[in-house]
Amino acid sequence: MNKLQKALCIGAGLISLAGCREYRIEYSPVLHEDAKVVDVVYTMNYNMDDGSNSPGIAVVSMNIPEKYAVVFKSQHGKFIVEGEDERHKNLWSRMQEGEKVDVTYKEKYESVYDDTNKDGTNELVERRLVKYDFLDAQPITN
């Protein structure tokens, strides 16, 4: 058996041991949950440059961007949605403390598929919830 044949045999053996696992990021359909707005928070931007006349060189520069946040409370506990972009500013401006809202979100999963029964089709063998992707919140009108 020459070197190429040995390498091919070793490669085929490794592939058969490792299988043909397939890794995917998957999302749930849009989910809904009732919640209450607990707090709306705005943090204004803050810039500071301090090059004071102290001995030695000590220049301090700080830039904290403005941030918008809404704290919700649902049947599963409290959670916060925060950010610096227009989407978060818009959400912050629409929410009022004490307001009941319909929160929409998706669950993000890391899934593993493998051909466990050797029929040529990969089946789901593992799924792990890794994140909740907040989509929006709308006031509930009765």
Rounded alpha-carbon distances, angstroms, from residue 55 to 50, 52, 107: 13, 9, 55
Rounded CA separation 2/53 (Å): 76
- Are 80 and 46 in contact by the 8 Å Cβ rule? The answer is no
Tell me the pLDDT tens digit for each residue of 69-89. Answer: 999 999 989 999 999 999 999
Residue ranges of the chain with per-residue pLDDT less than 50 = none
What is the pLDDT at residue 117?
Answer: 87
Which amino acid belongs to residue 127? R
Block residue for tokens 């899934």: 111
Rounded CA separation 31/107 (Å): 8
What is the pLDDT at residue 48?
Answer: 77
> How many helices and strands, by DSSP H and E, does the chain display?
2, 8
Rounded alpha-carbon distances, angstroms, from residue 9 to 1, 19, 20: 10, 15, 17
pTM attached to this predicted model: 0.69
